[in-house]
Amino acid sequence: MPLLFIFAFYALPFSLFAQQTTAPAPPSTTRPAPTPSQTRPQSQTRPQAPPTNPQARPQTTPQPRQSRPQARPQPSNFPFTQYLSRASNAQGWAKIYFASFKRSNEPNYLSLAARQAQNAIQILQSAQNQLPKTNRFYHEVRARRLNLCDFYALLKTAGKSKGYYKIVPALSDDLCAQF
């Protein structure tokens, strides 16, 4: 008798545990595999209707809500950093081309340097025109633009000293004005 009591004492918790962990299998909602005579080539298959049981529906990622299409993307309110990065890029190329001109004395490098410097001056002038004079960035952009105007004058004198008078064109008066 004590042996039966010990067996029942130890076996009872395991049987309860086994009943709690095994859940009944859900009813099968899948179709049996078709036989080769029932299958069609991929080009002849029709799209299947969604299953009627909402729990049997395969998990899909939610689709984003369709919003009203906008006519055009909204421009950023203050593209100041874009102007500065483009001007810095053009100024960097101008200095690289001028260093190449000093090494090789080829007029193509001087014309490329002048073009890049003129492009940087125009970018900085358009950035300066968008800023109010009371803004501290206005004076920063103005100082950089005038510094580039001095660099452009250096390009012009370097070209004239080497005999290339028409390689570096004259800038318009408003680009290097002290306004």
115 lies in some domain: yes
172 lies in some domain: no
Domain that holds residue 87: 80-162
Q: How many domains is the chain partitioned into structurally?
A: 1
How far apart, in Å, do the first and last CA atoms of the chain sit?
111
49 lies in some domain: no
71 lies in some domain: no
Q: Report pLDDT digits (tens) over 37-90.
A: 555 555 555 556 555 655 655 566 666 565 555 554 444 455 778 889 999 999
Q: Report pLDDT digits (tens) over 93-113.
A: 999 999 999 999 999 999 999
- The reported pLDDT for the residue numbered 12 is 47
For residues 101 and 161, what is the distance between their CA atoms, to the nearest angstrom? Answer: 13
152 lies in some domain: yes
- Statement: the pTM of the whole predicted model exceeds 0.85: no
137 lies in some domain: yes
For residues 65 and 78, what is the distance between their CA atoms, to the nearest angstrom? Answer: 29
15 lies in some domain: no
Q: Residues near 120 by Cβ (< 8 Å), separated by ≥ 6?
A: 86, 87, 88, 90, 91, 94, 148
24 lies in some domain: no
Q: In this structure, what DSSP letter does residue 175 have?
A: T
Q: Identify the CATH number of the domain in which residue 86 sits.
A: 1.20.58
